Amino acid sequence: MTAQTAEQLTHKKCKPCEGGVQPYTAAEAAAQVQALPDWKLTADGKAIERRWVVKDFLTAMKFFDAVAKIAETDQHHPDLHLTGYRNVRIELSTHAIGGLSENDFILAAKIDKTPVELKKK
């Protein structure tokens, strides 16, 4: 499987996955995540995650709402985490196959295009 660019991924739509597909191998996942430099493979290699420190609580909620709309449109839903009122973490995996699929990288690329106001340094 050849890794795709972030731009290529954003032009795709997630495909329904009820299982029966092989998850990405460790090598495939490592190659594909390089196109999304802010995303990292989780320690077990079965998911990808990204973290943000946003301006404030309402900014986090607006961002989650925007991500939810993208996820619902593509019918692929991430795990959304908010701690300390502004620390956002999004984790993507394809639960039906117990690992990563193209859908995870498609959604990550689309999330990357979603504007969010970060905490000023």
Threshold 0.85, pTM exceeds: yes
pLDDT tens column, 38-80: 999 999 999 999 999 999 999 999 999 999 999 999 999 999 9
What pLDDT does residue 104 have?
97
With CA atoms as reference, report the closest residue to 91 among 41, 36, 46, 48.
Answer: 48
Q: What is the three-class DSSP state of 14?
A: coil
- Decide if pLDDT at 20 tops 80: no
Distance (Å, whole) CA 114 – CA 112: 5
